[in-house]
Structure 1
Amino acid sequence: MSRTDLRELLQRYQQGSCTAEEKRIVEDWYHALGHERELHVTPEERETIRQALWNRIAEQTADLEEEPEDRAWFRAPAARWAAAAMLALGLGLGARQLWPVPARQTVGPPATAPTRWVVYPNTSQQVVSIMLPDSSLVQLAPASQLKYPRRFGAKYRPVYLVGKAFFEVRRDTTRPFQVYTAQVLTTVLGTSFSVQAYKGQKDAVVEVKTGRVRVTPRVAANAPPPKALPAPIVVLPNQQAVYSPERQLLARELVAQPVQLKPQSFVFDDRPVTEVLASLEKAYGVHIVYDAKALANCTVTLVLRKQSLYGKLEVLCKTLGASYEEENAQILFHGPGCQGS
């Protein structure tokens, strides 16, 4: 059988229009894939090739949310591997064509590919950069997968994530950018943020670097419907949303290490403590709650250039005999106050 004949047979098989005999031929290819002596590869190499081939097939056929009903047959494992075997053995794809794009290389949909969706799994050990159709940039972590349309529609820019990725979204107020995971939907107009939602992960985490995003809980496909989902929340820079499907709890928190968003000198020479706290608020975009009346007579002389936000707060607390805690993405500062002169 020539490559042209194989290609035509595969097409008919995918369309469900082949004869019973042709179907048997395709499925024989599937079963042949399981015999190492025919493929001349080790079990480890065979499994790697299988996974890579299925990813290639998924790019060309799968639209998990909008797949036509007449393609439901393709979800069957035997049919998937049959098509994969046809591509590998019948069309002569080389192994080097199946490996992931090198780490940090910017990749996008091939210009000539005929499909609506691109499925990109990062099977490497390094972060991979992916350029989306709207020029938004995604840093896809290892053991993660991103699915995105070859062309975004007129109303929305949806992508589907399993694992972890950092997004730098090109601003477009007419088409919100949407990141779907099994647990949450993250909606933005233009910002940078990360989403972490690996398969089997207990909580989903959305961390914002710039701009703002809206995080909405979702019900996983195989999960029982909850009594009531938490309301969506808006997350700002240096904040993160943490959603626990098990507890049906969506919380807003500060990130582990808030970054400085605006320049400040952090050199204070006999300055009011309230001025120090205001500078921290402005620099990190973090709201600090304190008793202004109790701290009205408190002044300090400090240089806080090198410390993190929490390091600066620790120095301030040690100087005053104060303490602080985090609650709902805010800092609650507790000071004993100072006597007036």
Structure 2
Amino acid sequence: MLGRYQRGECTAEEQRRIRAWYDGLGAEQQLDLDAEERAALLATVWQRIATQTTGRLPTVASAVPAASRTNRTWPSSLAWAAAAVLVLGTGLTGVYLSRNAVSTPEGEPARSTAAAWVVHTNPTARPVAVALLDGTLVTLAPASSLKYPRRFQGPQRTVYLTGEGFFDVFHDAAHPFLVYTDQVVTTVLGTSFTVRAHAGQPSVVVRVNTGRVRVAPRSRAAGTPANAPASVVVVPNQQAVYSAARQQLRRELVAAPVLLAPQPFVFDNRPVAEVLAALEKAYGVSIAYDAAAVRNCTLNLSLGSEPLFKKLDIICEALGATYGKADGRILFHSRPCLPE
């Protein structure tokens, strides 16, 4: 992410995250880890830095300065540490681990008692970073809590969230990562996404930044409609929204889709199908339309940095068309064009 930030390629949300994490670099707190756990976390951190910058996996001895291989707080005062934090997309100096013992929630399968549970609550007014020993990085929003085992054991990596958290999950195809809230469970292999599940709010929202996640209700209550989906798969620029009151799980587009694959939007008398395909590629969205209706339609226009839906408004105005949204897709409706 640091490289993209320096090249000016980050989205507005990613720039906000980097600035927020950088502002928190000076707030050093002691990591409550034993020597073995500290070594494991440090190895994973440097593995992530290496793979995201050079594509090679270093050893801890070769990658970490000798002065850093001690049992102390993270050296945020050093320039290399600040750069590493930004590459990883989180501020390790903001990590605080609470040793509160928490039992496994009722209804969940029993897990090894060797993996003590840790609860991290953010009582501050700004996001804080939590680094898990598997390399997963979590940004915990204010008034939110994350519960996780000190060491992941077994075939799955399971955590429990109350409130809101942004997850940058370390890829491990053999050990899926599961985020439980009161209402839904989100399953991933390696991706980044946000879960918003504040107590008392009517809906749980899962929004994807990269990769794919599967979202499912934790249970199907009596009276759930027979045609209700058991789960939905969500990709970037989509979100899953679950309403417990309605027993309804739906997939939808985010309010402001971000540009995923920058490209020019200059069209000189080009077919409408080509213009729509360019939008699909740029924003990673699916646009459904009647191919026969737009067969003879062409456009001569130049689009710039307008948001996706503004671009669609311009296209619709030029064609006398309309569009709607359903199930995470765009439905484009155009009148047939006469052949020239």
State the TM-score bracket (shorter-chain normalisation). 0.5 to 0.7
Equivalent position SS for 2:335: coil
How far does the alpha carbon of each residue in 1:154-185 deviate from its partner, in whole angstroms, 9 at most, with x for none?
31111100001111101000000000000100
Establish whether residue 62 from structure 1 lines up as the match of residue 96 from structure 2: no
Once residues 182 and 266 of structure 1 are traced to their aligned partners in structure 2, the CA distance between those partners, rounded to angstroms, is 43
Equivalent position SS for 2:309: helix
Establish whether residue 183 from structure 1 lines up as the match of residue 183 from structure 2: yes
TM-score (norm 1): 0.66
Equivalent position SS for 1:318: helix
Equivalent position SS for 1:247: coil
Cα pair distance change 1:247/1:151, threshold 3 Å: same
Residues 213 and 234 of structure 1 are in contact (CA less than 8 Å); yes or no, is this contact kept in structure 2? yes
Q: CA deviation at 1:227?
A: 3.8
Establish whether residue 140 from structure 1 lines up as the match of residue 135 from structure 2: no
* One-letter amino acid matched to 1:253: E
Task: List alignment gaps of at least 5 residues for structure 1.
Answer: 1-55, 68-113
Residues 213 and 236 of structure 1 are in contact (CA less than 8 Å); yes or no, is this contact kept in structure 2? yes
* One-letter amino acid matched to 1:332: L
Q: How does 1:140-289 map to 2 (within 5 A)?
A: 140-219=140-219, 225-228=221-224, 230-289=229-288
Greater helix proportion: 1
Rg: which structure is higher?
1
Q: Which residue of 2 aligns with 1:88?
A: none
Residues 242 and 251 of structure 1 are in contact (CA less than 8 Å); yes or no, is this contact kept in structure 2? yes
Task: List alignment gaps of at least 5 residues for structure 2.
Answer: 1-95, 108-113
Between the two proteins, what is the percent identity of the paired residues?
A: 54
Once residues 238 and 332 of structure 1 are traced to their aligned partners in structure 2, the CA distance between those partners, rounded to angstroms, is 16
Establish whether residue 299 from structure 1 lines up as the match of residue 339 from structure 2: no
Residues 61 and 115 of structure 1 are in contact (CA less than 8 Å); yes or no, is this contact kept in structure 2? no
Once residues 151 and 160 of structure 2 are traced to their aligned partners in structure 1, the CA distance between those partners, rounded to angstroms, is 14
TM-score (norm 2): 0.66
Q: Which residue of 1 aligns with 2:127?
A: 127
Equivalent position SS for 2:99: helix
Equivalent position SS for 1:193: strand
How far does the alpha carbon of each residue in 1:120-151 deviate from its partner, in whole angstroms, 9 at most, with x for none?
11110001111111111111101111111100
Cα pair distance change 1:150/1:337, threshold 3 Å: same
* One-letter amino acid matched to 1:217: P
Q: How does 1:302-321 map to 2 (within 5 A)?
A: 302-321=301-320
Once residues 164 and 276 of structure 2 are traced to their aligned partners in structure 1, the CA distance between those partners, rounded to angstroms, is 34
* One-letter amino acid matched to 2:306: Q
Once residues 125 and 165 of structure 2 are traced to their aligned partners in structure 1, the CA distance between those partners, rounded to angstroms, is 14
Q: Which residue of 2 aligns with 1:117?
A: 117
Once residues 281 and 180 of structure 2 are traced to their aligned partners in structure 1, the CA distance between those partners, rounded to angstroms, is 32
Equivalent position SS for 1:60: coil
Aligned length: 236
